[in-house]
Chains A and B, each alone.
Chain A
Amino acid sequence: MNHILLIDFGSTYTKITAVDIDNEIVLGTARGITTVETDIMNGLNQAIDALFLKTGKLKFSKVLGCSSAAGGLKMVAVGLVPELTAEAAKRAALGAGAKIMGVYGNELNEYEIQEIAQLQPEIILLAGGTNGGNKEVILHNARMLTTLGKDIPVIVAGNKSVAPQVVKTLLEAMTEVVHTENVMPKLNELNIEPARETIRSVFLRRIVEAKGLNKANQFVDDVVMPTPAAVLKAAELLSKGTEYEPGLGDLMVVDIGGATTDVYSIAKGDPTKTNVALRGLPEPFAKRTVEGDLGMRYSATALFKAAGAKRIADYANVSAEDVEAYVEKVEANIEYLPQNEIEKKVEIAMGKACTSLAVERHVGQLETIFTCFGSAFVQKGKDLSDVKTVVGTGGVIVHHEQPKEILKGAAYSESTPEMLKPECPKYLIDEEYIMASMGLLGEVYPDVAVRMMKKYIVRG
C-alpha cells in the first residue's frame, strides 16, 4: 500500500492530509498548532496523533511539506521603473509564493535601506533595466544593499549586461548571491519563471533551515515550497491537467484568510471583445495577487475602509451600523464567531466583499477611449470574463456554511462593467481543504493529484 503524508505548516495551524495513492482517496486530515518557536515537531506530532485516532496507525512511503509558518517567505522586490521592472520583480516573488514586505523602484536611498533592514526580508529580489538597457540604477542599488548591515540572500534578475558586476558588488557583503535571467529582458516582456525557480531553490537551501523547519527533516522528506506556491501549483494542475488526465480549463482560485485574501488565475486573459487594444505589462499565465487589507479578522477594519460600510451593508441587507458594530467586535476579538442572524449575514457579506474587491484588483480593466472615429477600448490586465470555474479554498471559505455566497463576489457585476470578472462561473469548494496538499502531491504524482482534485473539490 502506498500512503503519502502531505503537510502544510501554516502560520497558525499545521494541517496534514494522508492520501492513499493506489485508491486515490483522502484517508484523513487533521491539524495541530504550528510550533515553530519551540520545535516544529511538537505541533506536527499533535496533528499526527489526531490523524491516527481517525485512521489507525499508518505508514507513509513519502512525506512532503509546504510552509507559510513564521510569517511566510518574506521578500523585498527592487526594480527600476515602478510600473515595469519593479512590478515584474513583484510578480515573480508573488508567483513564488512570497509575502511581499516592500517593492522599491528607482535609486534606493539611505532611508529606504533602513526601512528594508527593518522589514527583515528573507530574500531580496534585485531587478532593473532591460537587457542592454539602464545599468546605473541596478549597480547603484547593489552598492546600497551592501550597506544593509545584514546578510540576506539576494537574487539578481536584472539587466544582464551588468549582472556580473552587480553580483560581485553584492558578494562584498552577502554570502548568498544568485543570479538568474532578467525578469524583463525586453521592454514589456515578462520573464518571471527563472526568478520563481531561483527563489524556490534559495527557499529550500536557506530558508527552511533558518525557520527551524529542518527539525522536521527526520520525519519529512522535503519541505519543498511556500504554501501559496503549492496552491498555485495545484491550481495550474487542476486547470491544465496532465497528459493522461484532462484539466478543467481556465480557472480562478480565491483564498480568504483572517489577514489577507489571495487570488489566483490560470488563464491567458486575452481580450474577449472586439476593438480592444492591450496595454501595459503582459500578465503571467499563472498569476497570484495578495491583498493585505482584505481579510476577515486582523484586516476587518481595513476591509471595512476599502469596501465601505454601504457595500457590505447592501450585500448583507442590514444597516451600516450593524456592519460597523460587527467589524469592531471581530477586530477586538479575532476568535469571535457570529452569534445571531444579523451577524451571520454580515460575516457572509464581509467575505463577499473580500472576494469582490480582491478579484477586482486581480482582473484586468477596460477603459473606453473616445477617438475621432468613435470609441475604442484599452484593456489593462487579464480579461477573465470567459473563466468558467471559480474555486474557493482557505479556512474562511472551507469552514463556512454558505461558501458559495462568499464566492459570488468574484462574478461580473453590471455596476462595474469595466472590471473583466468572470461572467457566469460555476463555484467549486475545496471542502476537504486539500489544495496545498495536492500541489505537493503533484510534484510526485501529477495524474493522481488532478483526479483527486476533480473528485474532492466539488460544486458549492
Chain B
Amino acid sequence: MENNKVKVILGVIGADCHAVGNKILNYAFTSAGFEVVNLGVLVPQEEFVNAAIETDAKAILVASLYGHGEIDCRGLRERCRESGLGDILLYVGGNLVVGKTDFTEVHKKFIEMGYDRVYEPGILPDQVVIDLKNDLGL
C-alpha cells in the first residue's frame, strides 16, 4: 500500500533487548500519523542506516535503556553521512548512561555526537511527537 505518510525508523540499539518501551513508542508514533519502520530490539547501527536508505525515512529514533548508550550510539551520525543520509534527523532517548550522571552533561555529549534531540528518562512520547513534527515542518 502506498501512502504519503512520513516514515521514521525506530529501534533499540546495541545489545539491548528492552522491548516494552519500543512497543509503546511504535504505538505513539503510529497514532500520531507517522509510518513507523520498527526494527525492534538488538539493532546494530548498520541496520538503522540501511533501513533509512531503503525506505527513504526522514528520521531515525534510537532508544537505549541498559546504560551502554554512549558506546552504542557513538558514530551513528558519521555512518549516516558516509552512507549519503547526511543530516537526517537523529533522536535518542532512554537511560543513556549508567548511574546518576547530570543530564545536562549527557545531553551535551550526545548533541556533540551529532544527535538532533536527546531525551532523558520520564519524557512522554507526546513531547517527542511534537518535536518531530516541528523539526520536520509538519
Interface residues of A (CB under 8 A from B): 80-81, 83-85, 129-135, 160-161, 184, 186-188, 277, 279, 369-373, 376, 378
Contacts and interface: CB of A to CB of B under 8 A. Distances in A.
A369 B42 contact: yes
A378 B42 contact: yes
Which of B1, B51, B54, B66 is packed against the most chain A CB atoms within 10 Å? B54
6 contacts: A84-B54, A134-B53, A277-B40, A369-B15, A371-B16, A378-B42
A188 B66 CA distance: 26
Contacts of B7: 132-133
Given A85-B54, A277-B42, A371 B1 contact: no
Contacts of B50: 81, 83-84
Contacts of A184: 54
B102 interface: no
B54 A376 contact: no
Contact of B56 (A83, A133, A186): A133
B113 interface: no
A372 B42 contact: no
B41 interface: yes
Q: Is the interface of A mostly helix, strand, loop or mixed?
A: loop
Interface of B: 1-4, 7, 15-17, 35, 37, 40-42, 47, 50-51, 53-56, 66-67
Across the A-B interface, give the 9 residue pairs with the lowest CB-CB distance, nearest first.
A133-B55, A133-B56, A134-B56, A81-B50, A369-B15, A84-B54, A130-B55, A132-B2, A187-B37
A99 B42 CA distance: 35
Contacts of B41: 277
Contacts of B17: 277, 371, 373, 376
Contacts of A133: 7, 54-56
A131 B35 CA distance: 12
Contacts of A80: 53-54
A75 B16 CA distance: 40
B51 A187 contact: yes
B1 A131 contact: yes
B2 A134 contact: no
